[in-house]
Every structure is written in C-alpha cells, then in structure tokens.
Amino acid sequence: MIKNICCIGAGFVGGPTMTVFADRCPHLNVTVVDINEKKINLWNSNNLDNLPIFEPGLAEIIRRTRNINLFFSTNIEEAIKQADIVFISVNTPIKTSGIGAGEASDLKWVESSARTIAEFAEGHTIVVEKSTLPVRTAQVIKEILDNNQINKKNINKVNTFSILSNPEFLAEGTALNDLENPDRVLIGGSDELSINALKDLYLNWVPIEKIITTSLWSSELSKLTANAFLAQRISSINSITAVCEVTGGNIKQVSKAVGLDSRIGDKFLNPGPGFGGSCFKKDILNLVYLCKYFNLPVVANYWDQVIKLNEWQKERIYKKIVEKLFGNLSEKRILILGFAFKANTNDTRESAAIQISKDLLNEGASLVFYDPKVTKKQILDDLYQIDEIKKNSFSKNISFSNDVYNAAKGSDAIIILTEWAEFKRIDWAMISTLMRSPSWIFDTRDIVNDNDIKKTSLNYWKLGNAQLD
C-alpha cells in the first residue's frame, strides 16, 4: 500500500501536482524535494503571495495541506528513503553543446535523479517519469537503477525498482483545474502491480474511464506529440494573421468560423505573438532530433517548420512596430504590457516578449515594463541572460512601473504582449492624453475593444486585422 510519495523537483510541474495529490489523498504523506534551498524556502514561506510560482488557486490549497500531509524539503536522502513512489519532475532543457545541441534534451538532471534514487531508496520503489522527456528516457533510468540494486549500506539487501511514465498535460494558468479535472491521465509501463498502484492514487478523484494505460514508449511519445500538435495549431493560426492583414480579413472572425467546425474545434486558435512556455519549443525540437536520428528527414523538416513560423511571427511584429514608428526608435519610449508567455502565470520561459524586447532595445528604444506577476529581476535575467555587453548597453534604456497610467506618460507606443485581464479594462481615453503624439497601440493579443480606440486620437495596429491599419 502506498503511504509516502516523494517528488524530486519543486518547479512548475512538481509543486502544483504534488499539492493536488496531497489535497485529494489526505491519507498520503507527500514530500517535494529540491536542491535549490531558496526555492524550498519560498514554498515554505508564511507569505503565500511569495510562492515561487503563480497559479490561480494554488495558495489556497497550499494553506490547507502544507505541513499537514504536504512538505517541502531539501532533505532529499530522507524523502527518497521513506518513499514508496518517487516522481522525477526536474528540468530537461535543450542541450547547448555536444551531440544534438540545439535540439536534444539535456538529461543530466534526470540521470542525477536516477542515481540519487538508486543510492538512497530502500526496498521496492516505483519511479515515475513526470518531466517531459524524449522517447526511451525510461530506458536510461532503468539501466541506472538495475545496475545499482545492491543496498550500499547493507550489501545483503537488494533494492528493486519499477519504472512508469506519467506525463503531465498541464497548461500554465489553468494547471490546478487540469490536475483536478483532467482530460486524461496517462500511465505507461509494463509492471501491472505498479501501474495499478499509481492508478489507485488517481482514482481518489479521477474517473476510471479517464485513466489510460500504455507501454512506456507510447506514453513518452504521446506527450511529445500532444505538445507538437498544440504548437502546430498556434503557428497555423498565426500564419493566417499575416494573410488577414494583407487581404483585409479579420483573424477573430476567421478563427471563430474555423473553430465551429466540429472536426477542428476552437481550442488554441487565438492569435498571438508566438507560443512560449517550457515545453512546446523543447518538445518539437526533441521530435525533430528523434526523426533525424531515425533517418526521417521529411518528418523532421515538417515539425521544424512549426518552430520557424513561430520565430517569424515575433520578427514580423517587431518589424511592424519599427515601420509604424517611422523606422526609427532612437529616444522613443515604449511601454511593454506583459512579459509572461501567457496570462495567469509568472513563467517567462520562451516568452515572445523576450525576443521582441531585445530587438526593440537593439533599435535604440527605451522600454518600460509592466507585468502584474513577473518580477523586475526575472525580466532583467531574461533580457541580459548573463551577457555583460548587453547588460551595459541595455541598462540605461530599461525601466519598470507598477502602474499602467504612470508608465504611459510620454510614451510613443504601447505594446500588449500578454493577455492579462486587467489590460482589457484600460481607459484608452485617459491613455491618449498621457502619450506623446503621434502615439501607437500595438495589440498582439486582439484584446482591445476597437470602439474604445476609435474614440481617441491613438493610432492602432491589431494582429490579424487590417481594418484599423
């Protein structure tokens, strides 16, 4: 019977996932461990507004479970020792050097986790892949664990392991609902006893018909494929925004018409500056690398085009801004509204705002940033990325504000890059009195009410719409 769960990795997946496990399975002890002491301290902070990640509703669940049956700790050894199930939920970034650089995932943290589990686990332990991983990563984990079955503290004891794949299908901003009311729970493996043990935990709140079991390899590939398909839809609708702009079409009308087709549906058909987050780009790159490795160049090129379209979308938006501002951004003040890759999260990984902001800074613009959840430090880290040359050249042209109206004073342009709800409530009549004329609003999320803009002297460019151009 499962009593103790350990999750290695206290990030965007591990933290919320284990919080829901603790909430829905009060009979379990759930411990989330991480080598990052600062992150663990934030999870344990009395100030629930100071959690390391923002997710609507998360603080409330933390309040009722933490230090009752949910614990955050840096004592990895003890948590693994006590655990019946260990989830691996660590970062798997794209390799920056060596074989597969720029496409393959760097599995050093996965391998490190497997070796740590092998060292400290006692008895039989179910090891669950939770991170988004390349196909056949489970084999790497299995080989490490199989070669370290002898208990180092007692050579007469043999530890045993079962490996399962249980990929997450979370969308940041709605992660808690995705966890509490999932479309499906996927469990891949070959050990029926272990599969049923994990299934029994989910059955505490997930209907049995939503729990799917597969082989390990099908489970891993299903996760990559799901993210690739979602990213493909975003790139597809974004490609049509460009067509709408040159033909006089309206992307919102096109998207609605297409989405009403029951064969297609309306999910992921909202136009924007490009997909971001921790998974889409990384998973497609992994798929591209996998296809190249198995000599499927046509398939690799197909998926690579999804990423190229995404990068092109960011580039063309930046160029459109420069064009509208007379081809010169020197000494011009631009307000960036939103830096997170999407609303209702403070995650900035692969956010379109990063590249667009860098391009504008390289043109000589002075940028002022406002995002309700992303910190000043995070924005600076993303823009500089430990590049001292850029830090020195950009720093004088970067500022921050906690108030949209103060930030708009003297601005030449405002760019909406994240669809935060509060941006839909901006008083554009007031804004128009604060900006320097001629002033521009660039709406890359199609959230501004056209009629509100028409009542002002503001110039307006909206993604996928040529009518107000």
Residues 371, 338 contacting (CB under 8 angstroms)? yes
Is the omega angle on the peptide bond into residue 372 within 30 degrees of 0, that is, cis? Answer: no
Q: Residue 259 corresponds to which amino acid?
A: G
Cα–Cα distance measured from residue 340 to residue 427, given in angstroms and rounded to the nearest whole number: 22
416 three-state secondary structure: strand
Residues 328, 365 contacting (CB under 8 angstroms)? no
What is the pairing mode between strands 85-88 and 70-73? Answer: unpaired
Cα–Cα distance measured from residue 138 to residue 308, given in angstroms and rounded to the nearest whole number: 30
Helix, strand, coil % in the chain, rounded to nearest 5: 45, 15, 40
Active site residue 223: yes
Which own/partner pairs from 108-112 qualify as long-range (CB within 8 Å, at least 24 positions apart)? 109/9, 110/137, 110/140, 110/141, 111/140, 111/144
Catalytic residue (choose from 199, 223, 282, 332): 223
Active site residue 168: yes
Active site residue 279: yes
Cα–Cα distance measured from residue 224 to residue 288, given in angstroms and rounded to the nearest whole number: 11
Catalytic residue (choose from 55, 103, 129, 168): 168
Cα–Cα distance measured from residue 446 to residue 426, given in angstroms and rounded to the nearest whole number: 14
Residues 127, 114 contacting (CB under 8 angstroms)? yes
Question: CB neighbours of 327 closer than 8 A, spacing ≥ 6?
Answer: none
Cα–Cα distance measured from residue 16 to residue 176, given in angstroms and rounded to the nearest whole number: 7
- Lookup result for tokens 């997710």: 55
Catalytic residue (choose from 7, 25, 244, 279): 279
DSSP 66: B
- Catalytic machinery residues: 168, 223, 279
